[in-house]
Amino acid sequence: MSTELVWFKSSYSGSGGDNCVEVALHPDAVHVRDSKDPARHPLTVPATAWSDFAAYASTVES
């Protein structure tokens, strides 16, 4: 099994690419990084915490 993370950008990211975050999913964690600086160490959060955050964020009006 490969341990390399597969990164993707949100479908909400613009085509300019100047303000994007990338996410890589893992069974136990979600990794988040700045697309402009992919060599920097990513923020890693437990998958359950990410799920709670995403559920909350989907209820917040912009």
- The predicted-structure confidence for 22-61, as pLDDT tens digits, reads as follows 999 999 999 999 888 888 999 999 999 999 998 998 898 6
pTM: 0.75
1 domain-assigned: no
Helix (H) or strand (E) holding 51: helix 47-57
Count of domains for the chain: 1
46 domain-assigned: yes
* Strand locations in the chain (E): 7-9, 21-25, 29-34, 43-46
At residue 50, the pLDDT reads: 92
Domain residues for the domain of 19 are 7-57
At residue 7, the pLDDT reads: 93
Q: Is 8 exposed, middle or buried (0-12, 13-18, 19+ CB in 10 A)?
A: exposed
